[in-house]
Structure 1
């Protein structure tokens, strides 16, 4: 079998829709799938490790990476910068690893302009009430913060129609199965399979 490049996926969702839990569950099942580790200028939070959760860099270093065109996409969110490294993604894809970008719809727009073949997935909650319940059940945020997150979620969800695939995360196991199906469906595309099984096809269809 020939080495096939990995596939690049973007996953977007409002806070509370369960995106991170779905990604983590998928990665636990498959060693040949990874989530991209973004660069950021914000300070590491308790429990976060450099190069595992983020690449934590100084503002000056981040700006140099912008100038040298090292990012597939980047954004400034309030006083902090976030970006996706081209080199890191390319290395993993070349190794046949499927890579997931956990970014918002704005980052997805940027990447589609550079890599139109990227597969994009949006995850929605089953209802506004359920989304608010999930945010409340975290027990991490004040009522004011939750209201702000709900307002932001409304704006984010309005961009669902810009994505290739849509998953409604009502039942977690069903949503995980659907996400896994999307990934394996991409792997089974003729362009990937014909490269992976190039020798077999040559033997089956001699010149």
Structure 2
């Protein structure tokens, strides 16, 4: 059953909750048809991250110029760096009838919801605040001050989960992936998404 337009799926949550890990696991599934929308950021690459695969890494000057030219679906400044989603790739993919996944920060997700209220918004939550702090500290890339800033931001972001359609706890990556895939499958089966297909089929008789 072919839909005319793909689904925009937004996965976000506090820093350190494992958004990138869950996203990578989702795309390792051999049966996935998801397309990934790569975000642009001004932060430095972490070990193992590849430009054009994990993020488009750029300078603050270039990013601000793109903001002025309205080239982002959403953008946000987070803990001293900018993050944004280029519009062109997202819109092209949806028009082709393909599902696209955005893995973005909470501020950005709320911007996308204003522009695309029909999107599917999934909040990835930690099992506990203590576990979230452990994950951030385990990275070994943040100073104590930055860890404190990220934890303060995480508490504020947890209060924003009411703006989302679904909440998935990332206790184990495989389990979280199964829940996200179940949400996507369920959304594809919603009556309002498939009724036009059958109406056209009946009209053709």
TM-score tier after normalising by the smaller chain length: 0.7 to 0.9
What is the Cα-based RMSD across aligned positions, in Å? 2.6
Distance 2:195 2:173 in 1: 33
Taking a change above 3 Å as real, the CA distance of residues 132 and 69 of structure 1, as seen in their structure-2 partners, is closer
Which residue does 2:170 correspond to in 1? 169
Which residue does 1:98 correspond to in 2? 99
Distance 2:119 2:191 in 1: 16
- Alignment pair present for 1:74 and 2:63: no
| TM-score, normalization by structure 1 | 0.82
1:28-107 correspondence to structure 2 within 5 Å: 28-29=28-29, 30-77=31-78, 80-107=81-108
Instruction: Say how many residue pairs are matched.
Output: 204
Which residue does 1:185 correspond to in 2? 186
| TM-score, normalization by structure 2 | 0.83
Taking a change above 3 Å as real, the CA distance of residues 171 and 76 of structure 1, as seen in their structure-2 partners, is closer
- What is the CA distance between 1:73 and its match in structure 2? 1.0
Task: Give CA deviations for 1:169-206 in whole Å, capped at 9, x if unaligned.
Answer: 22433322111111111112223323556664446xx4
- What is the CA distance between 1:168 and its match in structure 2? 1.7
More displaced 10-residue stretch of structure 1: 138-147 or 122-131: 138-147
Distance 1:32 1:120 in 2: 18
Task: Give CA deviations for 1:87-144 in whole Å, capped at 9, x if unaligned.
Answer: 1101111222211212222212211221111111111112222223333444444555
- Alignment pair present for 1:23 and 2:7: no
Task: Give CA deviations for 1:60-107 in whole Å, capped at 9, x if unaligned.
Answer: 443332233221111234554322111110111122221121222221
Gaps of 5+ in 1: none
Contact 1:2-1:195 within 8 A present in 2 as well: no
Distance 2:19 2:46 in 1: 20
Contact 2:79-2:149 within 8 A present in 1 as well: no
More displaced 10-residue stretch of structure 1: 25-34 or 53-62: 53-62
Secondary structure of the 2:167 match is: strand
Taking a change above 3 Å as real, the CA distance of residues 87 and 147 of structure 1, as seen in their structure-2 partners, is same
